[in-house]
A = this chain, B = another copy of it.
Amino acid sequence: MTRTTVSRSTPTISQVASAAGVSRSSVSRAFSRPELLGKETVERILAVARDIGYVPNHTARALSTGRYSNIALVVPDVANPFFPPIIEGAQAEADQSDFCVFLGNSGESPRHEDALLDRFMGQVEGVVLVSSRLSEARIRHHAARKPIVLVNRDVKGLARVLIDSSQGVEQAVVHLNELGHRRIAYVAGPAQSWSNRQRRATVVRVSKRLGLAVTVIPTPVPSYAAGVAAAKQIIKSSVTAAVAFDDLTAQGVMAGLAEQGLTVPSDMSVIGCDDVLGASTYPAMTSVSSRSAEAGKAAVSLLLDFLSGSSLGDARLALDTHLVMRQTTLAPAT
């Protein structure tokens, strides 16, 4: 078990103590509560520590204080472009407070999500659960052990930040109406998804208000392929515009339409949601922006606030959205 040591011996607090001629407590205080020590004592200790190359052992500190300075962030699928911005936002906020973040990738599996949480629980102060696939009961179970903030999941009594697409989707429908569209389609996402229910309801509600006819096209799971398949039904339903559950589906719709000889936006307008592909496609897609990075940031901020004792822990933060107009919408032909 030699493990090819490189010189991997970290100096401990005791070594600093004896080198500086003080007790271990003083060294500890020099780092964590210097105001309790004499000014020059602190300086001397710090100097010695620097010489030796001492750096406080995070783990030991965590063990005795219970302050881990770690949080866990669990997402269903890192590779789904919806999540990276959330991760990025969360990271940035954690960095501000010198917190480290564990990332968990549940692979859309509740069982795996559970396992990850169990593994993390022992070394974090709190958890951010993004689009959790867990049952409400399991979420509550975990929330009983550590502070949890939910993103895109609405469980009463728990802290949560929700991306509220209703405004953005409303703008989308209004936009289509103003362009002159009278019959539109909504290409739905997963039936049990909170976001999907909200988006669908908004499309229907606003359309009704404006007197537009709406066709809902169901989709088992949101994906490029689902979008391609949906395109045929879109054509059949003789609408002139479509709003899709997410950008990936929208992109699939565009491909499917093209296969049938229709081009976007001249023959059909298409609007996506989440704005994750946005500027990286051609034609650049009009989409409802989700501000996901802010959601991640807000979630961590909420968690950290709670840990430092301020907030109450059952906050419900709704982030608004808006339509980003690009090049996939146009007035209907004729």
List the interface of chain A (C-beta within 8 A of B): 1-4, 6-8, 10, 55-60, 62-63, 68, 70, 73, 77-79, 81, 83-85, 87-88, 91-92, 95, 98, 100-105, 107, 112, 116, 118-123, 143-146, 224, 248, 251, 254-255, 258, 277, 279-284, 306-307, 309, 312-313
Q: Which of B56, B92, B116, B119 contacts A122 (CB 8 A)?
A: B56
Chain B residues with Cβ below 8 Å from A59 are: 59, 62-63, 68, 122-123
Number of copies: 2
Compute how far the CA of A173 lies from the CA of B96 in the bound complex, rounded to whole angstroms. Answer: 46
- Contact indicator B280/A258 (Cβ below 8 Å): no
Residue of A84, A101, A251 ringed by the most chain B CB atoms within 10 A: A84
Q: Are A87 and B68 in contact, CB atoms less than 8 angstroms apart?
A: no
Output the least CB separation between A152 and chain B (Å).
18
* Chain B residue contacts of A10, Cβ below 8 A: 145
Q: Is the CB of B58 within 8 A of A251?
A: no
Q: Are A279 and B123 in contact (CB under 8 A)?
A: no
| CB-CB nearest 3 A-B residue pairs | A58-B122, A103-B103, A255-B282
A95 proximity list for chain B (CB < 8 A): 112, 116
Query: A63-B59, A102-B102, A145-B8 in contact; A284/B255 too (CB < 8 A)?
Result: yes
Name the residue of chain B whose CB is nearest to the CB of A253: B282
- 21 A-B pairs, CB-CB below 8 angstroms? A7-B144, A8-B146, A55-B118, A57-B122, A58-B122, A59-B62, A62-B123, A63-B63, A77-B88, A78-B84, A78-B87, A78-B88, A79-B84, A79-B85, A79-B88, A87-B103, A91-B104, A91-B105, A100-B123, A258-B282, A277-B280
Contact A119 B100 (CB under 8 A): yes
Task: Name the contact of A102 in the complex, choosing from B7, B103, B306 (C-beta under 8 A).
Answer: B103
Query: Which B-chain residue is minimally distant from A57 (CB atoms)?
Result: B122
The interface residues of chain B lying within 8 Å CB-to-CB of A92 are 105, 107
Assuming the A-B contacts A87-B105, A224-B279, A248-B280, are A120 and B100 also in contact, with contact meaning beta carbons closer than 8 angstroms in the complex? yes
Smallest distance from the beta carbon of A64 to chain B beta carbons, Å?
Answer: 9
Tell me how far the C-beta of A234 lies from the nearest C-beta in chain B, rounded to whole angstroms.
Answer: 15
What is the CB-to-nearest-CB distance from A296 to chain B, in angstroms, rounded to a whole number?
A: 10
Smallest Cβ-Cβ distance to A77: which chain B residue: B88
Within the complex, the shortest CB–CB distance from A212 to chain B, in Å, comes to: 26
Minimum distance in angstroms from A33 CB to a CB of chain B? 16
Question: Cβ of A258: which chain B residues have Cβ within 8 Å of it?
Answer: 282-283
Most buried by B among A7, A100, A281: A100
Residues of B within 8 A of A122 (CB): 55-59
| Residues A281 and B251 in contact, CB atoms below 8 Å apart | yes
Set of chain B residues within 8 Å of A145, measured between Cβ atoms: 6, 8, 10
Q: Whose C-beta in chain B lies nearest to the C-beta of A81? A: B81
Contact A312 B4 (CB under 8 A): yes
Instruction: Give CA–CA (A306, B8) in the complex, Å.
Output: 14
Cα distance A248–B281 in the bound complex, in angstroms: 9
